[in-house]
Amino acid sequence: MADNAALHFLPWARQGATAGIPTADSLTPGQAAQVALPITVRLAQFEVTSQIHLAGPAEVTSIDPRQIVRTEPRHLTTNFAVNLFPHIEFDRPDFPWLFTPAKPGQQERLRPWLYLVVIKKQEGVSLSGAQPSSLPRLAITAPARPGKELPDLSESWAWAHAQITGGLADTVPSLKAAIDQAPERTLSRLLCPRRLEQATAYYACLVPTFEVGRKTGLGLPVPDNELSQLAPAWQQDATDVLLPVYFSWEFSTGQEGDFESLVRLLQPRPIPAQVGTTTLDIGHPGFGLPEQADAVVPMPGLLQPVPLPAVPAPAVPPALQAGLVKILNAPADALTQPTNDPIVAPPIYGATYPPKQRVDLTNQPPPWLNELNLDPRHRIAASFGTQVVQQDQEALMASAWQQIDAVQKDNLDRRRRQLALVNRTLLFTKQLSRLDPDELLQIMGPSLTKVQASETAGAKTVATDIWSSEFPAFCTAVLRRVARPRGPVNRRFLPAQFLSTQTRPLVKLLNHLPTAPPRLPFLLRPLRLRIAGMVTAKRVSDAAGLPLIDVSKMTPAKVQAEPAHGFFIWKVDHWERSSVLLGQEFRQAAFDHLSRVVRQGVVLRPTFTKPNAQTLLNSLNPRSAGMTARPRGPAIASEEDGILAHPQFDRPMSERLIDLAPEFLLPGLESVPANSVTLVQANNRFIEAFMLGLNHEMGRELLWREYPTDRRGTYFRSFWDQRGAQADGQSLALPPIHEWTGPLGQNGAGAGTTPLILLVRGELLRRYPTAVIFAAKAQRDQAWRLTPSQTARYPLFRGSAPPDVTFFGFDLREEEVRGDSRPDGDPGWFFVIQQQPGEPTFGLDVDPGGQPPRITNWNELTWRHLVRSEEELASLTYVRVAQGNPPLPDTSANPPGAQWGRNSAHMARITWQQPVRIAIHAGKMLPPATGGGSHA
């Protein structure tokens, strides 16, 4: 087994009955193509011995393509690195040896039953389709030479291996357990060690290794005498070869260079000063606007240098802006004339959102509207959005009509919620808002456990506040049931005329203790009810402070002993004896109630403060309590503004902008040398102007197509491509345009901040799009050198532009990443470009030219190490495992990790290309800091 930190290479793998094959592979043709295993069956006293024949290469007519999990390169790749080996991976770890009729021989070598060959597309090479009774066929005839296009099958054992991923002990039980119990960590692989040529097309074909497999795949008969040998499927001196193909794909090579060689070409550079801005001539605008000689203003593009330049100067001439105001306001002015004839004029971008019909020079809110429409630079950016809608109108409208059912349903739900909101608001205003806080407490009993006592996070509820007081009775369901205004007790004991006017809870009669008229008996004074107010807990607590009440005499026993005729109800202006005999039920209810209220002559007081009362009232307010309609998605705005639901288009629009106007991505990009890495920032003013033009024109298109819309919807909210971003869910989607209140460029997500953008110009990411890009916080080692730490941030978004520009946005700022060279200063950040570690590659390094140095590490091995001269290198097609005399490659330096030619696991470890990464400090990609102390 040959290992590294995460990958374990095995020279072979066997499962099931094939693990019991007794014959070792001699690596010669003199070996049987079939194998039989003895089998014994015992039944009671009987025992039967026989043999079973295992399927061999002569029985294979096809393979299941689902076993193939990866090909390198992918099908139809056009820029594969010439120094790498094409390979194919299988799901089963034993697939290459599944039908090999032998067990591993000397040094754990075992030939696979199929082989991967890579054939140059040329005259004499053809790949035909499948026949009814056979597989597709690969034919190699003159002028093509099979001996050059096909490898030596005597070394086929060296290029098939199994792989286990993850931590593993180097023991046989551990290997077997990983293969049997963790199939997701295992696979097998076939390598093709061919030396490729630049800019050349190839076939990659999976073919049989043995002659019996070749004949079976071609539908030819296999004589019995041939089953006694494992002859190879072709000979090196053959003039023509015909092979069946189990699986195939095509690819082409690019220029010389793998990931390692390309990443070494990258150079960090601050962006040139002239990049990022183009010039706009507004001296002759036409359309009746005033002309001015030599009126040229700078127009920034989508990406800008770091730090962002100041607002471009000179600004747009006031005379030109005044002319624009007159033209843009012409349709609104025409409506004020007696003729009312409509006038067609250039659009006021975004006018439907405030909404407004006019622009002016007085910076009336919202400020972005005038900035956008009175500056030709911003109007140009908005016009790009208009062009996108005009070009894509059919596809956009088809998508919009597909969403019409959901849009109409949302609008219906919106109208229902608006009606419910109006009804709840009227009920709250006329009824609930007028209640005394204590009356509100009484009717809110079931909801007290759901309302917080304050707006502080984690605050206890009102119910908890009351239950923790001395008088928790008002939280009990029993008291609320007995005290309800039209409950059974009130219906029985209150007079009919009292019930017909304004009922009150009779059981809470004792809660209110007003000053009684002097002519009434003393004991009856606390037992009066004022019809103007509801009996509440507050009045119980207030009773102790009234001057004519002797609270100590309010005992449950006295109340229970009071005769029924002693209870009075206080009407509006006089006292009147109740017309109903108050019986024992009322006295018992009063007794139970006073038993809670009065303890040892002290009136207990509930803890219910005014803030709690206000909290309860706010919780019932349909507007302050958030009881308005909660939208299902960003398509529905708030209930107040009345914006209709509208279709949504989620495609990142930066792609369309770059397709439409690539010259505005980074004006002057041609001044940035190839293989450069630099930092830039986004121009938010340009982005918002483009998105406003895009949404404005989409609203016009929907109106023209008679789509139900009020043209105030934000149909496009995604500018940057955040698909696949690892940014902890942070969204850069624009907020709805009707909510924009700031100047242009300060209304997007994270307004006022501009993410840093890493821009790479070169072949690296075009040829290796799966490379991992991230930012790592810098740290100082013991030698005070800066190195990347484990603190990492991943891109918020990414994008590309032809032919070789790729960019990545990070949630970082210039002052964070630049760093300070002082020992106690912030070390800043690194930007890291790393080869995808989950997709291992195999091959040899690019030949640097000249006499190769001795190999001290297998990662330094090049094609030049395999030959004695440049002439031999030119004629070399496949890697030769046999070292020859003198032995090549020269291993006298004893490179660690593996032994050349020992078995396929060692060859995999030697040719495995370790993942490469480069870390570039941000200070090297930024201009010098004005204050000094930078790492640049």
The tens digit of pLDDT for each residue in 885-899 reads: 889 999 888 898 899
Asked whether the predicted pLDDT for residue 878 surpasses 70, the reply is: yes
pLDDT tens per residue across span 818-866 = 887 777 778 899 999 998 877 889 999 887 777 888 899 998 899 999 9
Q: Is the dihedral of CA 21, 24, 27, 28 positive or negative?
A: negative
Choose between 241 and 935: higher pLDDT: 241
Q: Is the pLDDT of residue 527 over 50?
A: no
Alpha helix segments (H runs only) across 790-869: 814-818
pLDDT of residue 693: 95
Mean pLDDT of 251-261: 83
Peptide bond into 366 cis (omega under 30): yes
Q: What is the mean pLDDT of residues 671-679?
A: 92
Rounded mean pLDDT, 412-440: 79
Q: Which of 47-51, 280-284, 580-584, 672-676 has the highest mean pLDDT?
A: 672-676
Q: Cis ω on the peptide bond leading into residue 365 (within 30° of 0)? A: no
Q: Which residue has the higher pLDDT, 663 or 510?
A: 663
More confident: 351 or 458: 351
Segment holding 767, helix H or strand E = helix 764-767
Low-confidence winner among 63-77, 627-641, 906-920 (lowest mean pLDDT): 627-641
Lowest mean pLDDT segment, chosen from 53-62, 66-75, 311-320, 922-931: 311-320
Confidence of residue 187 (pLDDT cuts 50, 70, 90): very high
Q: Tell me the average pLDDT across 324-329.
A: 90
Average pLDDT over residues 434-457: 67
Instruction: Answer whether 231's CB lies under 8 Å from 111's CB.
Output: no
Q: What percentage of the chain carries pLDDT values higher than 90?
A: 38
Tell me what pLDDT residue 720 has.
Answer: 93
Distance of CA 8 to the CA centre of its chain: 32
Mean pLDDT value across the chain: 79
Burial 851-885 (b: 16+ CB within 10 A, else e): ebeebeebeebbbbbbbeeeeebeeebbbbbeeee
> Distance (Å, rounded) from C-alpha 69 to C-alpha 7?
17
Q: Say which residue, 337 or 327, is predicted with more confidence.
A: 327
Higher local confidence (pLDDT), 411 or 100: 100
pLDDT of residue 182: 82
For the chain, the first-to-last Cα distance in angstroms comes to 46
Confidence of residue 483 (pLDDT cuts 50, 70, 90): low
Lowest model confidence (mean pLDDT) among 344-353, 433-442, 527-536, 853-862: 527-536
pLDDT at position 46 over 90:
no
Asked whether the beta carbons of 122 and 139 are under 8 A apart, the reply is no
The DSSP bridge partners found for residue 72 are 87
Task: Give 573: exposed, middle or buried? Use CB within 10 Å, 0-12, 13-18, 19+.
Answer: exposed
- pLDDT over 50 (residue 638): no
CB 606 within 8 A of CB 470: yes
86 DSSP 8-state letter: P
Residue 771 CB burial class (10 angstroms; 0-12, 13-18, ≥19)? buried
Asked if the model's pLDDT at residue 777 lies above 70, the reply is: yes
Q: Which two structure tokens, joined as six digits, stand for 529?
A: 């009810």
Q: What is the pLDDT of residue 686?
A: 94
For the entire predicted model, the pTM comes to 0.70
Among the ranges given (47-56, 235-244, 472-481, 869-878), the one the predictor scored with the smallest mean pLDDT: 472-481
Burial degree of 405 (CB within 10 A; 0-12, 13-18, 19+): exposed
309 pLDDT tier (thresholds 50, 70, 90): low
Higher pLDDT, 901 or 633: 901
Contact 277, 312 (CB under 8 A): yes
* Inter-residue contact 803 to 761 (CB < 8 Å): no
pLDDT at 219 over 60: yes
Average pLDDT for 224-249: 92
Question: Which of 341-345, 450-454, 595-599, 691-695: highest mean pLDDT?
Answer: 691-695
Q: Which of 361-370, 595-604, 719-728 has the highest mean pLDDT?
A: 361-370
Report residue 615 as tokens.
């909290």
For residues 278 and 273, what is the distance between their CA atoms, to the nearest angstrom?
12
Find the largest Cα–Cα distance for the chain.
Answer: 136
How does pLDDT run across 648-660, given as a tens digit for each residue? 998 999 999 999 9
Mean pLDDT of the 307-322 span:
72
* pLDDT of 401 higher than 80: yes
Q: How confident is the model at residue 685 (pLDDT cuts 50, 70, 90)?
A: very high
